[in-house]
């Protein structure tokens, strides 16, 4: 049985964008893709407005915790998607890297976070299509 493709979402605090992306990918891809997320400087907790925005579309990310970005997480992933972490993300040969320019949901109201959430969903749907047809 082939190994599942693995995706790592990285942002600075691992509290908003990367958590929403991980939630979307888990929800939309099910068990077809392994999902990870991490931050270069993780926050103490997930952004409550991001949790609220995801809950509105039926995805519960309340049980998730911000995690520190490790070399092992990058090495163990096929695709590394960064979201505003700049040079904090280690680069390894043979990995697919994408940088998603997304607004930071920190200190944003729910209307702004909904826009970010929906943009992430669009990107996740395209990502799933490339990962599931490439195998």
Longest Cα–Cα distance in the chain: 45
Catalytic residue among 7, 11, 49, 113: 11
Dihedral of CA 65/70/74/76: which sign? negative
As a dihedral over the C-alpha atoms of residue 50, residue 22, residue 37, residue 62, rounded to 10 degrees, the angle is 50
CB 4 within 8 A of CB 32: yes
Catalytic residue among 10, 38, 46, 89: 89
Neighbours of 2 (CB within 10 A): 5
CB 21 within 8 A of CB 37: yes
11 has catalytic annotation: yes
89 has catalytic annotation: yes
Catalytic residue among 33, 51, 85, 113: 85
* Partners of 111 in the β-ladder: none
- Residues belonging to the active site: 11, 85, 89
């Amino acid at each position: 049985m082939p190994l599942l493709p693995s995706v790592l979402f990285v942002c600075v605090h691992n509290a908003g964008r990367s958590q929403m992306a991980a939630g979307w990918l888990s929800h939309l891809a099910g068990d077809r893709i392994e999902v990870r997320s991490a931050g270069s400087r993780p926050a103490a907790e997930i952004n409550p407005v991001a949790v609220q925005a995801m809950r509105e579309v039926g995805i519960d990310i309340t049980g998730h915790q911000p995690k520190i970005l490790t070399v092992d997480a990058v090495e163990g992933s096929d695709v590394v998607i960064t979201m505003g972490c700049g040079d904090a993300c280690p680069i390894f040969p043979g990995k697919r890297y994408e940088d998603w320019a997304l607004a930071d949901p920190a200190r944003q109201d729910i209307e702004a976070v909904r826009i970010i959430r929906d943009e992430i969903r669009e990107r996740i749907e395209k990502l799933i299509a490339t990962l599931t047809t490439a195998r």
